[in-house]
């Protein structure tokens, strides 16, 4: 039995969950999310979601925990939202935003201008003496992670000096340079 899949998911106050034709819809104060599902049966009893798989087939076992985690992430997203913070480490690295346009100066010959999806709120924080921080907020966990990974991919952290774009709290394994 899947340890994750057998755990029930509680539906908090103010969140509605509908199931129609292999489509789950979760609505809350921050927005609405939908997800297709297959290979599992979903039951809602007393504001608690239970997932069951029809057999011990490998596909059913794999999707049992997956859909439980996706439903849990959707419920948490529409109630409290998801936040990813990226830190720019390097001399002259800057970030600024105007609405949904993110302008990055990362040491290239030109600035990178990125249009962020409207579901993701972007905010930049630049304090003197500290590294600039990009804060991404949304109700969709997959979308926030995808946007953060795309931004990080422009200048991922390198192991010698540690320069680049990293997640706040991420530890970069450093290498020793050339020995003289």
Higher pLDDT, 5 or 68: 68
Q: Which domains are assigned to the chain?
A: 9-79 (3.90.930.12), 82-167 (3.90.930.12)
Q: What is the CA radius of gyration of the chain?
A: 21
Helices marked H in 21-164 — which ranges? 58-79, 141-154
Q: pLDDT grade, residue 12 (50/70/90)?
A: very high
Residue 81 in tokens: 């939202």
pLDDT at 124 over 70: yes
User: Using CA atoms, how far apart are residues 39 and 85, in angstroms rounded to an integer?
Assistant: 35
Residue 29's contacts (CB-CB under 8 Å, 6 or more residues apart) are 14, 78, 79
Q: Give mean pLDDT, residues 146-155.
A: 96
b/e map of 16-49 (b: 16 or more CB within 10 Å)? ebeeeeeebebbbebeebeeebebbebeeeeeeb
Can you give the pTM of this predicted structure?
A: 0.88
Q: Give residue 136's pLDDT.
A: 96
Q: Give residue 2's pLDDT.
A: 61
Q: pLDDT grade, residue 62 (50/70/90)?
A: confident
Most distant CA atoms of the chain, gap in Å: 69
Kindly report the number of other CB atoms within 10 A of residue 118's CB atom.
Answer: 9
Phi first, then psi: what are they for 49, rounded to 5°? -100, 130
């Amino acid at each position: 039995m899947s340890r994750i899949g057998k755990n029930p998911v509680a539906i908090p106050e103010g969140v509605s969950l509908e199931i129609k034709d292999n489509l789950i819809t979760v609505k809350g104060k921050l927005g609405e999310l939908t997800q297709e599902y297959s290979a599992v049966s979903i039951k809602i009893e007393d504001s608690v979601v239970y997932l069951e798989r029809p057999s011990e087939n490998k596909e059913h076992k794999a999707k049992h925990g997956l859909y439980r985690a996706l439903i849990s992430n959707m419920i948490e997203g529409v109630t409290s939202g998801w936040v990813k913070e990226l830190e720019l480490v390097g001399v002259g690295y800057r970030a600024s935003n105007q609405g949904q346009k993110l302008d990055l100066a990362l040491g290239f010959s030109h600035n990178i201008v990125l249009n962020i999806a409207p579901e993701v709120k972007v905010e930049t924080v630049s304090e003197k003496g500290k590294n600039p921080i990009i804060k991404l907020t949304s109700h969709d966990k997959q979308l926030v992670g995808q946007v953060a990974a795309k931004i990080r991919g422009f200048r991922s952290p390198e192991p010698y000096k540690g320069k680049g774009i990293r997640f706040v709290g991420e530890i970069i394994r450093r290498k020793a340079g050339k020995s003289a």
